[in-house]
Amino acid sequence: MCQVGEDYGEPAPGEPTPAPRPSREQKCVKCKEAQPVVVIRAGDAFCRDCFKAFYVHKFRAMLGKNRLIFPGEKVLLAWSGGPSSSSMVWQVLEGLSQDSAKRLRFVPGVIFVDEGAAFGKSLEERSKTLAEVKPILQATGLPWHVVALEEVFSLPPSVLRCSAQEPAGSEGAYKAAVDSFLQQQHVLGAGGGPGPTQGKEQPPQPRLDPQSLASPPAAAQPEALSQLFCSVRTLTAKEELLQTLRTHLILHMARAHGYSKVMTGDSCTRLAIKLMTNLALGRGAFLAWDTGFSDERHGDVVVVRPMRDHTLKEVAFYNRLFSVPSVFTPAVDTKAPEKASIHRLMEAFILRLQTQFPSTVSTVYRTSEKLVKAPRDGPAAGDSSPCCLLCMCALDVDAADSATAFGAQTSRLSQMQSPTPLTETRTPPGPCCSPGVGRVQGCGQGACRREDPQACIEEQLCYSCRMNMKDLPSLDPLPPYILAEAQLRTQRA
């Protein structure tokens, strides 16, 4: 029974000890003068100004160290409304302001993808979310695009093709581009007119894209998207499918509006969780692309992750201290139990370890930094090697029998041929599949499987995407551009 004088302040055995709060005598570890307001790690207490400088330096250093974004280049900021992507947009806005010490020189735009139809949200709920999103986008003063996820049903098959990639710029090319940009800015300034990024004194103009304000998609598309996600059996496959469709839609918008880079707000914590999740899903060969700073698998559009040095704790503190606006949008795994999917299970595992061992996220993240992209003859360098139809990563196809899980899977599929008897000979309607793929997948060892759409698509998927597609009973709910591109690849082979 509880007693009046008992002290219940000590934590129960096994519970993590809470971090000590900064005392009045403690000073900022950076300036040694102001009183700290934020404790990032044990012993790292920052005041408000020093924490902002520390946070901004991380973002700018990540961009400056890699030097992939050239001056004057158009960059599309993928904003989901969450804390990390909102902080990323805020960092870009501060970098473009006149008060910035070293101003950013690229031309940004913002895109928001409405995924409400995938979760079965009503039109009223989606309209309410967009009513919260659009004022924030308008306040940025940047060109913005609001697209619905169901628009993937109107994408062309070309979105799944890796366009020719320009050679990576060297150190000299980057410096030459900077000098040329500064010279243009000097000429514009001497002419008396402000440059494209020097319009702070100008009245704000609603720079809206006409295609962003087009009529909403047809009524059949939201129903088709809802039917697609309802037909997927597991939550793991739903999350992977959602990420794939979102990437395809953003990639198409970037190409349609001339953006050569796409910025995402993946934080250090999120990338650590993603690394462990992708290992469990069999995507170990693609970790360098999935978690690295840059992802060049799409060829002409490069995905960059400038927030990969910031933890979720730092993002939350920054957004709180400096009033960064954000919008909560429910995801496909919102309110899902811990063991509902591999993503949720791995997230709970990493975050629980982080509470007991504070170096867990940083250790996993530093491990991902050591991953090197293996050179392979992928579609970006030519068409000598096939790429996955969904994730667009180069397929790990071996000329001989492989001892990997992918090789075992393809070997099992090769035995599940068409029920045509071995004694019956049948002339295939056309040339067989490509020798590299057909020999491993089983095509060419019996009757050609081109007439079977499911087998045709399975032959063009990596191991992870193939396992996720097994949770889809039928191919009918898939967007038409996926089926069309699969048929085109088969005909070209």
Rg of the chain, C-alpha, whole Å: 26
Kindly state whether residue 80 falls inside one of the protein's structural domains: yes
CB 313 within 8 A of CB 274: no
Kindly state whether residue 485 falls inside one of the protein's structural domains: no
Three-state SS for 45? strand
One-letter amino acid identity for 288?
A: A
pLDDT-based confidence at residue 308 (cuts at 50, 70, 90)? very high
Domain of 225: which CATH number?
A: 3.40.50.620
387 — phi, psi (to 5°)?
A: -120, 160
Which two structure tokens, joined as six digits, stand for 422?
A: 């071995």
pLDDT-based confidence at residue 175 (cuts at 50, 70, 90)? low
In this prediction, residue 218 carries a pLDDT of 65
Kindly state whether residue 110 falls inside one of the protein's structural domains: yes
Pairing between strand 302-304 and 261-263?
parallel
pLDDT for 366 beyond 60: yes
pLDDT-based confidence at residue 411 (cuts at 50, 70, 90)? low
Q: What is the average per-residue pLDDT within 316-321?
A: 96
Report which listed range, 2-16, 112-126, 214-228, is most confident.
112-126
Name residue, tokens 């579609």.
Answer: 379
CB 247 within 8 A of CB 388: no
In this prediction, residue 456 carries a pLDDT of 79
Q: Which domain holds residue 96?
A: 68-160+218-370
Cβ neighbors of 339 (< 8 A, separation 6 or more) are: 345
Kindly state whether residue 138 falls inside one of the protein's structural domains: yes
Q: Which residue has the higher pLDDT, 43 or 117?
A: 117
Alpha-carbon distance 157 to 154, whole Å?
9
In this prediction, residue 369 carries a pLDDT of 84
Alpha-carbon distance 111 to 339, whole Å?
32
Q: What percent of the chain has pLDDT over 70?
A: 69
Q: What percent of the chain has pLDDT over 90?
A: 50
- Strand ranges (DSSP E) for 123-213? 144-148
Alpha-carbon distance 325 to 158, whole Å?
36
DSSP 213: G
The count of structural domains within the chain is 1
CB 24 within 8 A of CB 18: no
In this prediction, residue 397 carries a pLDDT of 57
In this prediction, residue 102 carries a pLDDT of 79
Cβ neighbors of 426 (< 8 A, separation 6 or more) are: 420, 447
pLDDT-based confidence at residue 394 (cuts at 50, 70, 90)? confident
Q: What is the mean pLDDT of the chain?
A: 79
- Strand ranges (DSSP E) for 298-445? 302-304
Q: What is the average per-residue pLDDT within 242-248?
A: 96
Alpha-carbon distance 446 to 457, whole Å?
18
Predicted structure pTM score: 0.79
CB 198 within 8 A of CB 107: no
Beta bridge partners of 364: none
273 — phi, psi (to 5°)?
A: -65, -40
Name residue, tokens 């109107």.
Answer: 154
Task: Provide the sign of the torsion angle of the four alpha carbons 264, 270, 274, 277, taken in this order.
Answer: negative
Alpha-carbon distance 272 to 44, whole Å?
22
Q: Which residue has the higher pLDDT, 82 or 183?
A: 82
28 by Cβ neighbours in 10 Å (0-12 / 13-18 / 19+) ranks as buried
